[in-house]
Chains A and B, each alone.
Chain A
Amino acid sequence: MKPAPFKYVLASSLDHALALKAEHGDEARFLAGGQSLIPAMNFRLARPSVLIDINGLTSLAGIDRPEAGQVRVGALMRYRALERDGEFLRSCPLFADALPHIAHPQIRNRGTIGGNLSHADPASELPALAVAMQAKMRIRSAAGGRTVAASDFFAGLLTTDLASDEMLVDITYPVLAPRSGACFMEVARRRGDFAIAGVAAVVTLDEERRCASVRLALCGVGETPVDAGAAALPMVGSRVTGESIDAVAAGVRELIAPSGNVHASADYQRHVAGELVRRAIRTAHQRISHAA
């Protein structure tokens, strides 16, 4: 099918884009990579009357380091640009694991991090990464700006905290801390498909190599990315062992409530999630550089 008619405007500046959104509200959509919005328009699941193309806003297409230990990624950064940025991948290694799982190179050449997070597909990898890494989302509107924690940004199925006049402008991630290791893993039916379940894990040790903290978030098993940090609390304060990891996996199986879908029953999703938690924590732990 083909999109229903709409008015197209190429935004000439961030202020221009925000003014248009303030004027048209829910009737208008930002067009970023178009890799979720255009399919929805082609099938007339989305029928915006105004399309605000933000692809010309180069100020949103960069990476910088606002403070030591932080990386700020502009909303318009495309997946492929992130995949090719070795320094970024070393700072935020969860992305090195996760990006190749997103669709196919042809989609990754267009799709943007801001579009991904604003679309808020719970099966997507990047919302889970944002929650695991406790990212901060910077939001702008014509009236002003605010910053929201990732855990508060994802409000429900394909729903975020963004108001109808707001744009996600950048996301700040913490650089992987010393004595830390990270791992993202997922299971999908085919390469590039959305995940049946996926797990992002970050393990940090203290100076005695005891577990200081574990960040854990899952995709594909709820209406939003699921923060499973609570299930990992029993590990904190002691050495990481096979038994302690198994206990966390069992805790996550209890914690989540997947609904099942055409590719996998809820039981299978729960099983896969538990196994992925086990493997992701083990790999994250193994990756902690012994020199550190």
Chain B
Amino acid sequence: MQPDQHEIELTVNGTRYRRTVESRMLLSDFLRHELGLAGTHVGCEHGVCGACTILLESDPVRSCLMLAVQANGRALATVEGLASADGELHPVQQAMHAHHGLQCGYCTPGILMTMTAYLTEHPSPSEDEVREALSGNLCRCTGYQNIVDAMMDAAARMREEAS
């Protein structure tokens, strides 16, 4: 069988890319291998771990459960785009740093993408709501408590920035 190739054009973190991809290439692999954006991690490839979470337009999705060809014409955001151009970290990143919300860091990009979207939509969550929002992202290291603390702090930082 001839490889089934498709030309796609998409925007990632504001930069336009044009590439030819085989139809079976997962979006997660496309980001990592074709665009060199290896901040998006891959853990399970069946939607369970959340390490590959990115934003499709503004919605968090599993990049391991989309084909690269499906991203044609779409705008994506990955962890590489979170900090501002001058290198200042996003409030969610600052809070993760301050609260020691990561150890090995494998789960971190997925958690950052999930939670920036969540906190934008829910600026004042309770701790229980934060735990629920995190339920689609597995972390082997931290036991979650420091991530929860970081997210409560991040919410406060984001509220302050918005006011």
The chain A residues found within 8 Å of chain B, CB to CB, are: 1-8, 10, 31, 34-35, 38-39, 41-43, 51, 53, 55, 80, 103-107, 109-110, 190-192
Contact = CB atoms under 8 A, between A and B. Distances in A.
B56 A109 contact: yes
B118 interface: yes
A31 B70 CA distance: 10
Given A5-B24, A110-B66, A192 B135 contact: yes
Nearest to A191: B135
A8 B29 CA distance: 17
A14 to B, nearest CB: 19
- B65, B66, B118 pick with most chain A CB within 10 angstroms: B65
A8 to B, nearest CB: 4
A9 to B, nearest CB: 9
Given A5-B4, A103-B136, A104-B135, A110 B61 contact: yes
B1 interface: yes
Contacts of B64: 38, 42
B6 interface: yes
Nearest to B67: A8
Nearest to B53: A106
Interface of B: 1, 3-4, 6, 22-24, 26, 29, 45-47, 50, 53, 56, 59-62, 64-67, 69-70, 114, 118, 132-133, 135-136
B29 A39 contact: no
B114 A106 contact: yes
Given A42-B45, A80-B59, A106-B60, A7 B66 contact: no
B46 to A, nearest CB: 4
Given A6-B24, A10-B69, A106-B60, 15 more contacts: A2-B26, A2-B29, A5-B3, A31-B70, A34-B67, A38-B47, A39-B47, A42-B64, A103-B136, A105-B118, A105-B133, A106-B53, A107-B136, A109-B61, A192-B136
Nearest to B56: A109
Contacts of B23: 5-8, 51
B5 to A, nearest CB: 10
- Specify the main secondary structure of chain B where it touches its partner: mixed
A283 B157 CA distance: 40
A104 B113 CA distance: 14
A38 B4 contact: no
Contact of A4 (B24, B60, B62, B69): B24
Given A6-B4, A104-B135, A34 B66 contact: yes
Contacts of A53: 70
Contacts of A106: 47, 50, 53, 60-62, 114, 136
A110 B114 CA distance: 14
A110 B65 contact: yes
Given A35-B47, A39-B46, A191 B132 contact: yes
Contacts of A8: 4, 6, 23, 67, 69
Nearest to B135: A191
22 contacts: A2-B29, A5-B1, A7-B23, A8-B4, A8-B6, A34-B67, A34-B70, A38-B47, A39-B65, A43-B45, A51-B23, A55-B70, A105-B60, A105-B114, A105-B136, A106-B53, A106-B60, A107-B47, A107-B62, A109-B61, A110-B65, A190-B135
A21 B136 CA distance: 34
B63 to A, nearest CB: 10
Contacts of A109: 56, 59-61
A197 to B, nearest CB: 20
B61 A104 contact: no
- A1, A35, A110 pick with most chain B CB within 10 angstroms: A110
A1 B45 CA distance: 7
A71 B65 CA distance: 30
B53 to A, nearest CB: 5
A80 B117 CA distance: 14
A42 B70 contact: no
A8 B67 CA distance: 10
Closest 6 CB pairs of A and B: A104-B136, A8-B23, A39-B46, A191-B135, A109-B59, A3-B24
B72 to A, nearest CB: 8
B69 to A, nearest CB: 6
